Amino acid sequence: MDTLARYDIKFLKGVGESRAKLLASELGIHTFRDLIYTFPFRYVDRSRFYTVDELRPEMPMIQIKGHFIRFTEEGEGVRRRLKGLFSDGKRMMETVWFSRIRQIEGLYKPGEEYIIFGKPSLYRNVWSMAHPEIEKLDSSHPPHGLRGIYSLTEKLRDRQFSARTIGKMVERLLAHERFQNIRDTLPYEIVDAFHLMPLKEALINMHFPQSVENLRKARERMKFEELFYVELHILRFARERGRKIPGLVFPTVGDALWKFYSEVIPFELTNAQKRVLREIRTDMKSGKQMNRLLQGDVGCGKTMVAFMSMLMAFGSGFQSCMMAPTEILATQHYETLKKWGESVGVRVELLTGSTRQSVRNEIHSGLTDGSIHILVGTHALIEDNVEFRNLGLAVVDEQHRFGVMQRARLWRKNKAAPHILVMTATPIPRTLAMTVYGDLEVSVIDELPPGRKPVTTLLRFESQRQSVYSMIGNELKAGRQIYIVYPLVHENEKLSLKSLEEGYVRICDIFNQYKVCFIHGQLKPAEKDWQMNLFTSGKARIMVATTVIEVGVNVPNASVMLIENAERFGLSQLHQLRGRVGRGADQSFCILMTRPDIGGDTRKRLDIMTETTDGFLISEADMKIRGPGDMEGTRQSGLAFNLKIADLVHDGQIVSMAREEAIRVLDTNPALNAGETQTAITSKGEYGLRQLSPPSISMLLRELDIRFARSVDWSRIS
Ligand code: ADP
Ligand code: MG
């Protein structure tokens, strides 16, 4: 395949300089290889023709045979359009163009036979097709089989490119001698083991499927190949990093941890917490640097696990830090950790953007002389002038707000990189975790502390507002506290603040016998703290807020989360907000207030919230609705959304197969490792062996180079 990657697309017959430029700028096609890896996004059954009588609104792209009766132009300016009356011999329908009107009119002649492709739609009882693909009917060459439809851009259409143009270029390429001699991109050992379709056959079938079954096998092969190389790439560098960056060794857990465990914690750890602590402990004495992602639903007790891990560092004479995304959350963590720390002689301090200079100086010296054992803070803590005496563990809470680069800055806080524990309360779908966070080991807390009652979630419309308020009134009478959250509209901060303020005034008015606090992103930190304290201390019984409270706030007495304009929030955000209640022993409620006229998709999203409290199910559903590219964290990565054919929503099984195979191959073939032999991270060999021949290994290396030569080398970030 390397030969195809070396050939400029302009040398393909029928392309030339100017078309090559277009292909490069519009579709990213520079070489022979790029073209052949540009797959149809859909296939049409060429042997099946529909008649106008058979059309149904839910049909995808279909084809109809017939002729145009006449073309007429309608409308003016931007509303100008061209209509073509088209007949299948029995009934008529319309075709419509909103652009390229002049060209279309010149291109097709009434009376001649054509095939039109497109998605039919019914408007005022007339079937029509907008911007159909049109092909001359060639009776000497009857159409057969599946035909690929390639995606085009508006600019390409303007320059007379059709899906057929691309198809013809591919056809010429498949006949080219370079293609005839192409080598497989996967070692035969792997092709064999997984019964994959060989590359050449797969590429032919991707573009010109010989049957539905062949197309399925071809797609499976290409997806596997793509995911296998992504996994191999991620894992190779994770291992290289593991080799280059030695891990700090914590020989003992120390007395503080034992004392805390046996005398201080008022409850029993859940089995999941214990299991994760064992995993972390194993990393900390292994001699390799830990890079671990801790996933667990809101309220499962990650903070406890983080603190006990910090005690492990303390026990071996190391400092720790915990970084949180907001001041409120950092402050809350600080208060929890300080209390716990005091019980076992561990000094905890807080550093945020609003820490006064005098305090800041004290903290800096406490960190360098080692008298501060745990530092909690916001981004402020990765600033360059914050120096530790010997940082051993860095905990990052709520990963999705931090990028890989910020994680890497933590590694530099000690001569030997500290262990890193990244915690996220927005569960990440498994497939996403394996690609986007593929360089992290994953631990999961899949168990909530006992005695928690699942939160009851209710969908309510504006017309039911009074009954919602009377329910809130009852909870208040019973002594409970209430959150009321408004969405933040980024395009118009002033307006959203206005709706928040109006909401606040209304609530103060209705519940005038209770104190109401008011908190949003534009408050000064001191004011935010003050308002926050009103609520955590129980003085204020109602909090009216924007999503600043989304992460981490812990007030067990709160029993109602009322979310205004719930339709404006993403699923993960709603899940986070809901996690703020249900922390005490009593039944809690999450009320999603919404407009009555929400669309079907929005309704579906809100219904998911009322049906399940399982964060993993919700994040999977969220990914299905929004697509993996829009998930939190994905944007910083770069890998997951460059996938051309595999799809993290539907190809979960292939993702795991590809990852397991990549691990197997790396474990068995030290020659593949980016540096010398012997890896620092060795898996437990759970997937068995895959011994590759030397030519197979050099082929893998060559292919990795072609695919990822331009991407970031994660191992060098530190
Ligand atoms: P999260 O995982 O969302 O960060 P927290 O660490 O804030 O969860 O824990 C939520 C609450 O549960 C805290 O009040 C914490 O003290 C409590 N908690 C943690 N572990 C347990 C346990 N094993 N049993 C009972 N309560 C626990
Ligand atoms: Mg938390």
What DSSP letter does each residue of 662-705 carry, written as one string?
HHHHHHH-GGGSSSSSS-SS----TT------HHHHHHHHHHHH
- Find the 302 Cα to ligand 2 centroid distance in Å: 6
pLDDT of residue 677: 47
Rg (CA), the chain: 30
- Which domains, ranges and CATH numbers included, belong to the chain? 48-143 (2.40.50.140), 255-445 (3.40.50.300), 456-612 (3.40.50.300)
Q: Please, what is the Cα angle at 167 between 164 and 170, to 5 degrees?
A: 155
- Find the 303 Cα to ligand 2 centroid distance in Å: 6
Minimal-distance CA residue to ligand 1 atom 15 = 301
Q: Which among 303, 328, 575 is the best mutation to test ligand 1's pocket, defined by most ligand atoms within 8 Å of the CB?
A: 303
Amino acid residing at 251: P
SS3 state of residue 377 = strand
Which helix (H) or strand (E) covers residue 518, if one does? Answer: strand 516-519
Minimal-distance CA residue to ligand 1 atom 4 = 302
State the helix-helix crossing angle for 212-244 and 652-668, rounded to 10 degrees.
Answer: 50
Which helix (H) or strand (E) covers residue 390, if one does? Answer: none
Q: Which residues contact 100 (CB under 8 A, 6 or more apart)?
A: 157, 158
Residues that place a CB less than 5 A from ion ligand 2: 552
Dihedral sign, Cα of residue 420, residue 426, residue 430, residue 434: negative
Residue keyed to tokens 């002729």: 67
- Find the 706 Cα to ligand 2 centroid distance in Å: 41
Q: What is the dihedral of CA 94, 95, 98, 100, to 10 degrees?
A: -140
Minimal-distance CA residue to ligand 1 atom 23 = 269
Minimum-distance ligand 1 atom for the alpha carbon of 397:
4
**CA-CA distance, 97 to 88, in Å (whole number)?**
19
**CA-CA distance, 166 to 170, in Å (whole number)?**
6
Phi-psi category of 363—alpha, beta or left, where left has phi over 0 and alpha has psi -120 to 50? Answer: alpha
Phi then psi for 9, rounded to 5 degrees? -60, -25
Minimum-distance ligand 1 atom for the alpha carbon of 304:
6
Whether the model pTM is above 0.75:
no
Q: Of 434, 390, 394, 419, which is closest to residue 242 (Cα–Cα)?
A: 419
pLDDT of residue 159: 83
- Find the 481 Cα to ligand 2 centroid distance in Å: 20
Judge whether 457 and 578 are in contact, CB under 8 Å.
yes
Minimal-distance CA residue to ligand 1 atom 25 = 449
**CA-CA distance, 461 to 157, in Å (whole number)?**
46
Minimum-distance ligand 1 atom for the alpha carbon of 302:
2
Residue keyed to tokens 């569960």: 427
**CA-CA distance, 393 to 443, in Å (whole number)?**
16
Beta pairing, strands 391-397 & 419-424: parallel
**CA-CA distance, 199 to 196, in Å (whole number)?**
9
Minimum-distance ligand 1 atom for the alpha carbon of 303:
6
**CA-CA distance, 199 to 208, in Å (whole number)?**
14
Q: Of 357, 436, 347, 402, which is closest to residue 643 (Cα–Cα)?
A: 436
Judged by its nearest atom, the ligand closest to the C-alpha of residue 302 is 1
Residue keyed to tokens 């009766």: 69
Amino acid residing at 11: F
Judge whether 485 and 564 are in contact, CB under 8 Å.
yes
Which helix (H) or strand (E) covers residue 51, if one does? Answer: none
Residue 313 in tokens: 């560092």
Residues of the chain falling short of pLDDT 50 = 1, 634-638, 640-641, 676-683, 712-718
pLDDT of residue 208: 93
Phi-psi category of 398—alpha, beta or left, where left has phi over 0 and alpha has psi -120 to 50? Answer: left
Residue keyed to tokens 């959350």: 329
Minimum-distance ligand 1 atom for the alpha carbon of 306:
6
Strand order in the sheet with 558-563: 456-461, 589-594, 558-563, 481-485, 542-545, 516-519
Minimum-distance ligand 1 atom for the alpha carbon of 268:
23
- Find the 370 Cα to ligand 2 centroid distance in Å: 27
Ligand 1, pocket residues at CB < 6 Å: 267, 269-270, 273, 296, 298-304, 425, 449, 554, 583
SS (H, E, C) 410-454: HHCCCCCCCEEEEEECCCCCHHHHHHHCCCCEEEEECCCCCCCCC
Judged by its nearest atom, the ligand closest to the C-alpha of residue 399 is 2
Judged by its nearest atom, the ligand closest to the C-alpha of residue 329 is 2
Q: What is the DSSP string of 56-106?
A: -TT--SEEEEEEEEEEEEESSGGG-EEEEEEE-SS-EEEEEESS-HHHHHH
Q: What is the dihedral of CA 246, 251, 252, 254, to 10 degrees?
A: -70
- Find the 129 Cα to ligand 2 centroid distance in Å: 52
- Find the 331 Cα to ligand 2 centroid distance in Å: 12
